[in-house]
Every structure is written in structure tokens, then in C-alpha cells.
Amino acid sequence: MKLYKCFISCILSFLFCVNGQVSDVIDNNLTTEHSLELTQSLNLARQERIQEVCNRLNLKYSLEDIPDNQLEHILIDESHRFLYCYVPKVACTNWKRILMILTGKWNDTDVLSIPAHLAHSPGMFRNLSSVPKDQRSYMLDNFQKMLIVRNPFERLLSAYRNKLEGDTPSAKYFQDRVGRRIIKAFRANPSNESLELGHDVSFREFALFLTSRADELADVVTNEHWQPITSLCHPCLIKYTLVGKYETLLEDSVLSLHSINASHVQFPRLAHTSGTSDKLHRYYSRLELPLVRKLYKLYKRDYALFHYDLDNIVGFDLG
């Protein structure tokens, strides 16, 4: 087991190294058999890990027991026999854009030519919640099923920065709907401006909001942007066949497109944001350790299932 783990982490560090230093070279060869095979072996190892952790969790319920609306994150592309469970803050805009191309909602194959807001517009895709049970089982048994995951604290920080710190229209909307209520509930002497605009929620207030589970905030605490991936996609009840990670997004996306015979669509090669771990450390060090622990507890299953740890954030692993 130990040896196996080492094997996987060696492959991982290999990917990181190659990726960081000679990215042009590997880019040219990304679609070669060799790198697809390597990516597929990582994908299979991730599936095995998920299976192992799920067995240990020994859940007492099945897919039959959960309400239909808990399947609404699973988007359907029937023509490519493909299901994609989208997770906000994990490349979901680009993958929704791709889904638009695959399902014929967009003509061009240039992914970035599609306006982001269009990809997020309500009703754009069919999802599994409204599919009759027998048809749903057929899809789950026979289609490729993709999930892309990310370190939970990294995803959380990304959501905070994007929705509560930002000043885009979408951030303004969140500040108005959620920020104001967080300030009202968790700030001792808020200014009128803060109460009115909800524009300056601190990261600590955000963490308090998530961990206190106050009844009066129940409707926003379950927002998809900070819901654990486990609650959005049910990886113990649905056996995903393509498990990608944010860290290897490009390779994993190429594999997925290959698996559904859609290699004519190119996943956008965006420059990776730099300094992520610095940023993580900066924000999370503003929280006292008990609060970090409480926050970690909320995402404990995501951490275990997707094999992440807290080393790079608080300097040691809480698990």
C-alpha cells in the first residue's frame, strides 16, 4: 500500500515538474498515447481511492433515498453519452462552455468565444434531477461520468475572493444577498455602509458564517459555491469514471474529451494563477486554529475522498 502511494505521488510530481519547466514540449505531445495512458492511470487510482474511502464510510443510504433535486448538478450530454457534475470554482465555466459546444448550443469550437454568463444561464442544460428513474439508471450505468475536484480550502478561498471580496456584478449580487446578512450576524459594531452594501465581509466572518450553521442563514450557507463536493455530486453513490483534479486540469480534460470522442474540442490552455499557496497561507493564517479545525470538519469528506491534505495551508495535517 505504501509503495503504491509513493508510486502515485511520484507520477504526480513528475507531472508537476514536466508541466512547470517545459510546458511547451509537453503541450505538443499532450494528445499522444503515452500521456493519455499516464493520465488514465492517475484517473483510475483516484477512483480506487474514492471507492476505498467510501467503503470505510459505509453509508447507510443509496441513490434511491436522496431527493431528485440533489442530482441537479449533474448535467447531461446525451449525444456523447456524457454526464458532468459541475462544481463551482473548479473550472466549471469552461466545462459548461464545452458542454454547449457538445450539445449543439454553440456553433464554433472556440471555447473561449462563448460568453461566460451564457454558459451559466438557467435552463441551458438538462440535468439528472428531471430524468425518469429508469432512464436515469441507464445513464448512470452506461455513460461516462466526470467530476473535477479541487483542494477544499483552495476552492473556498476562491469563492470568497470572487464573491465577497470582488466588485464584479456577480460579486455585488452576492454581497447584497449574502454579505449583508453575514455582517449583520457576525460583526459587533457594523457601519451603516457595511450593513447596506455587504461589501467588506472579512475572511474570518465568512468562516464564522460557514461553521456556525445559524438557522436564520441556512438558506445561504448551503449555496453551491461553498457546498462540499460530496454534497453536490455524491461520489460514494455515483461511480464517476473520469475524476479530474484542478492541479492537472488540462491533462484530465484532454482525457475526458478523448473518452467521449470529442477531441476536436480543445480545452483552453489558460495560464495557471501563480502564488496560490502564498495566498492560502495569508488568508488562513487570519483564522484561529479552532476555527480552522471547524472549517476543516465541514470538508473532511472531500479531503479524504479526493486525497488532499492541509500541509500546504496550515503547515501540518489536521486529519
CB of 298 to ligand NAG, least distance (A): 22
- C-alpha cell at position 260: 467521449
Q: Are 77 and 103 in contact (CB under 8 A)?
A: yes
> Which residues does 270 contact at the CB level (< 8 Å), separation at least 6?
none
CB of 34 to ligand NAG, least distance (A): 6
CB of 22 to ligand NAG, least distance (A): 9
Q: Give the CA distances from residue 256 to residues 3, 102, 123, 250, 316, in Å, rounded to whole numbers and listed in that order.
A: 28, 13, 24, 10, 33
Residue tagged 449574502 (cell numbers): 178
CB of 40 to ligand NAG, least distance (A): 15
d(CA 280, CA 153): 8
CB of 145 to ligand NAG, least distance (A): 12
CB of 76 or CB of 208, closer to ligand NAG: 76
CB of 142 or CB of 273, closer to ligand NAG: 142
Q: Give the CA distances from residue 74 to residues 112, 269, 272, in Å, rounded to whole numbers and listed in that order.
A: 22, 25, 26
189 three-state secondary structure? coil
CB of 294 to ligand NAG, least distance (A): 28
Pairing of strands 82-85, 74-77: antiparallel
Q: Which residues are near ligand NAG by CB under 6 A? A: 25, 28-29, 32, 72, 80-81, 106-107, 122, 127, 129-130, 192, 260-261
CB of 49 or CB of 80, closer to ligand NAG: 80
For residue 145, what are the β-bridge partners?
A: 83
d(CA 16, CA 13): 5
CB of 195 or CB of 318, closer to ligand NAG: 195
82-85 β-sheet, strand order = 74-77, 82-85, 144-149, 242-245
CB of 260 to ligand NAG, least distance (A): 5
CB of 87 or CB of 292, closer to ligand NAG: 87
CB of 51 to ligand NAG, least distance (A): 23
d(CA 109, CA 117): 18
CB of 80 or CB of 187, closer to ligand NAG: 80
d(CA 50, CA 265): 29
CB of 33 or CB of 215, closer to ligand NAG: 33
> Which residues does 14 contact at the CB level (< 8 Å), separation at least 6?
none
User: CA nearest 146: which of 224, 86, 236, 103?
Assistant: 86
CB of 166 or CB of 190, closer to ligand NAG: 190
